[in-house]
């Protein structure tokens, strides 16, 4: 997933879980996502992410945004988390907290991160 200098590009990683919290043997990376999300792109993405839930024992999903560079969270990171959470709610998908992975750090987006300006 990560080279010696960190992540080479911005990606969105998805994994699904069953009702007992066990992960399914399926991890889907989406590479080269733009710095700022597009609502239509994310809505289309959610339609695709629903398919494993409809076709398996999966009941929820987790998403991790990775990007080059280090902390702190950037405005584009926060925008992605907000749009992903809102789209999951619109599509009635149960989602674990969104996480951000940068060089040397993985962190969850907290509610305060999602309302932070800038």
Whole-model pTM? 0.90
Domain spans in the chain, listed from the N-terminal domain onward: 11-115
H or E element that contains 51: helix 39-55
The answer to whether 23 and 61 have CB atoms below 8 angstroms apart is no
Tens-level pLDDT at each residue, the chain (118 residues): 444 446 889 999 999 999 999 999 999 999 999 999 999 999 999 999 999 999 999 999 999 999 999 888 999 999 999 999 999 999 999 999 999 999 889 999 999 999 865 5
pLDDT at residue 1, as a whole number? 47
Hey, what CATH topology would domain 11-115 get? Cytidine Deaminase; domain 2 (3.40.140)
The answer to whether 11 and 31 have CB atoms below 8 angstroms apart is yes
């Amino acid at each position: 997933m990560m080279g010696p200098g960190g992540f080479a590009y911005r990606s969105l990683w998805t994994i699904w879980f069953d009702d007992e919290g066990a992960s399914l043997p399926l991890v889907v990376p989406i590479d080269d996502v733009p710095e700022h999300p597009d609502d239509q792109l994310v809505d289309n993405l959610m339609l695709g992410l629903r398919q494993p839930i409809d076709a398996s024992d999966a009941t929820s999903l987790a998403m991790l945004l990775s990007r080059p560079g280090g902390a702190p969270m950037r405005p584009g990171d926060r925008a992605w988390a907000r749009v992903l959470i809102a789209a999951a709610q619109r599509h009635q998908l149960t989602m674990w907290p969104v996480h951000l992975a940068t060089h040397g750090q993985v962190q969850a987006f907290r509610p305060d991160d999602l309302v932070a300006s800038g």
